[in-house]
């Protein structure tokens, strides 16, 4: 318990027999429930989880008979937490990358603020960031930039890190069915949080890498995440700016796309006539291409600007 608030932590694990014990045994004492999800591991992860659960009554083991993916495991963990009386819900990985000391600090920051979710940001400490492999650093930066537009959380960074602590109300506000089942978990969770109106705050945490071994296929995972971000963007636009309230952002965005499409199609048409029929377009005809394109660009830019200003700070 933390300041009279019950605390739960969700820890997914897949083939983490080397590090799951270190992870579970170092969870801070103020945590009341440790929900650890075994995602169909083929090693001794489940056996170790059950052994530790027999010693520590805080540990609740949820087992996926087959591998369902990170996102699906987290959603199962979330649903199990909602069956408890926890007031705060933490997220940690099963590979000992999350420093328990910072879980305490983020919990304290959450309790003393009006935000819903305090999330780790490993990009603040430049020296500590050097521990992150270069390809991960580059990929994280690229995906984070795209995630900003997809989720509307322009003031946060490190979109591939969900380590942190949230209020129960944040979990209850999230449409859990929109969370991706696999390694698009962090990104789609942010989309779900944005749709649910969750207020997020970054907290500086050093990057930590050790004995963990990545099982991620970089190419397929990146493509899956990019696809999820594209779909997530349109979902957010629909739910946030059309369904809940027809906001000017929707007018600017859809109007800009429509004008840009008109300008592009007409431009292709007169280009075809110029190349194959040798018909030189007049100045007025060219303006019928240029004006919709310029207007469309300005409307889309206005939509982005308004979306940024609409973020909860």
**pLDDT 10s digits, 213-263:** 555 555 666 787 889 899 999 999 999 999 888 889 999 999 999 999 999
Q: What is the pLDDT of residue 161?
A: 87
Tell me the residue range of the domain where 26 lies: 7-240
Q: What is the pLDDT of residue 209?
A: 59
Query: Given 240, 269, 287, which residue is the final one in a domain?
Result: 240
Closest CA to 148 of 121, 168, 130, 111: 121
Dihedral, 134, 139, 140, 143 alpha carbons, nearest 10? 170
Q: What is the pLDDT of residue 183?
A: 81
Is there a single domain that holds both residue 163 and residue 257?
no
Assign residue 170 the CATH number of its domain.
3.90.550.10
Q: What is the pLDDT of residue 217?
A: 57
Is there a single domain that holds both residue 288 and residue 197?
no
pLDDT band at residue 129 using 50, 70 and 90 as cut-offs? low
User: Rounded mean pLDDT of 112-132?
Assistant: 81
Listed in sequence order, the residues at least 6 apart from 34 whose beta carbon sits closer than 8 Å to its beta carbon are: 8, 9, 11, 24, 27, 56, 58, 59, 60
pLDDT per position as a tens digit, 143-164: 888 999 999 999 888 888 899 9
Closest CA to 285 of 276, 298, 299, 272: 272
Is there a single domain that holds both residue 167 and residue 283?
no
Task: Give me the sheet containing 7-13, strands edge to edge.
Answer: 59-64, 33-39, 7-13, 88-91, 164-167, 117-121, 200-204
Q: What is the pLDDT of residue 196?
A: 92
Number of domains in the chain: 2
Query: Given 240, 271, 293, which residue is the final one in a domain?
Result: 240
8 A C-beta contact, residue 264 and residue 294 = no
The span from the CA of 175 to the CA of 244, in Å, is 14
Count the neighbouring beta carbons within 10 Å of the beta carbon of residue 73: 27
User: Rounded mean pLDDT of 258-277?
Assistant: 94
User: Rounded mean pLDDT of 286-311?
Assistant: 94
Is there a single domain that holds both residue 68 and residue 179?
yes
Give the single-character DSSP code of 35: E
Is there a single domain that holds both residue 256 and residue 228?
no
Please state, rounded to an integer, the average pLDDT across all residues of the chain. 90
Is there a single domain that holds both residue 19 and residue 130?
yes
Q: What is the pLDDT of residue 312?
A: 67
142 membership: H or E segment, kind and range: helix 134-151
pLDDT band at residue 310 using 50, 70 and 90 as cut-offs? confident
Q: What percent of the chain has pLDDT over 70?
A: 91
Is there a single domain that holds both residue 143 and residue 255?
no
Listed in sequence order, the residues at least 6 apart from 166 whose beta carbon sits closer than 8 Å to its beta carbon are: 88, 89, 90, 91, 110, 116, 117, 118, 198
Cα–Cα distance list, 97 to 13, 161, 185, 306 (Å): 12, 10, 17, 37
Flag whether pLDDT at 137 surpasses 80. no
Examine residue 68 and state whether it is found in any structural domain, yes or no. Answer: yes
Examine residue 289 and state whether it is found in any structural domain, yes or no. Answer: yes
Cα–Cα distance list, 284 to 129, 262, 263 (Å): 55, 16, 13
pLDDT band at residue 130 using 50, 70 and 90 as cut-offs? low
- Provide φ and ψ at 121, rounded to 5°: -130, 110
Flag whether pLDDT at 300 surpasses 70. yes
Q: What is the pLDDT of residue 219?
A: 64
Is there a single domain that holds both residue 262 and residue 233?
no
Flag whether pLDDT at 105 surpasses 90. yes
Give the single-character DSSP code of 282: P
Is there a single domain that holds both residue 223 and residue 273?
no
CA atoms within 13 A on the CB side of 276: 6
pLDDT per position as a tens digit, 197-213: 999 999 998 876 555 55
Q: What is the pLDDT of residue 159?
A: 85
């Amino acid at each position: 318990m933390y300041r009279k608030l019950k605390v739960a932590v969700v820890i997914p694990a897949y083939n983490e027999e080397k590090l799951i014990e270190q992870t579970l045994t170092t969870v801070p004492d103020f945590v009341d429930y440790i929900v650890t999800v075994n995602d169909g591991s083929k090693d001794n992860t489940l056996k170790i989880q059950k052994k530790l659960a027999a010693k520590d009554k805080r540990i609740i083991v949820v087992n996926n008979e087959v591998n369902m993916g990170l996102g699906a495991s987290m959603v199962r963990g979330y649903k199990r937490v909602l069956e408890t009386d926890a007031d705060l819900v933490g997220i940690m990985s099963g590979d000992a990358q999350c420093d328990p000391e910072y879980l305490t600090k983020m919990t304290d920051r959450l309790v003393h603020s009006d935000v819903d979710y305090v999330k780790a940001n490993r990009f603040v400490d430049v020296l500590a960031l050097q521990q992150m492999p270069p390809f991960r650093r580059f990929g994280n930066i690229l995906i984070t930039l795209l995630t900003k537009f997809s989720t509307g959380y322009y003031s946060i960074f490190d979109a591939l890190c969900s380590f942190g602590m949230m209020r129960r109300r944040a979990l209850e506000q999230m449409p859990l069915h929109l969370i991706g089942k696999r390694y698009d978990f962090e990104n789609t969770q942010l989309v779900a949080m944005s749709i649910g109106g969750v207020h997020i705050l970054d907290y500086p945490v050093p990057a930590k890498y050790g004995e963990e071994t990545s099982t991620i296929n970089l190419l397929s995972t990146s493509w899956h995440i990019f696809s999820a971000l594209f779909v997530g963007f349109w979902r957010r636009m629909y739910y946030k700016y059309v369904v809940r309230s027809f906001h000017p952002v929707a007018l600017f965005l859809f109007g800009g796309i429509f004008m840009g499409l008109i300008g592009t199609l007409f431009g292709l048409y007169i280009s075809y006539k110029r190349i194959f029929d040798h018909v030189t377009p007049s100045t007025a005809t060219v303006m019928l291409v240029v004006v919709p394109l310029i207007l469309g660009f300005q409307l889309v830019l206005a939509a982005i600007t308004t979306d940024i200003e609409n973020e909860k700070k």
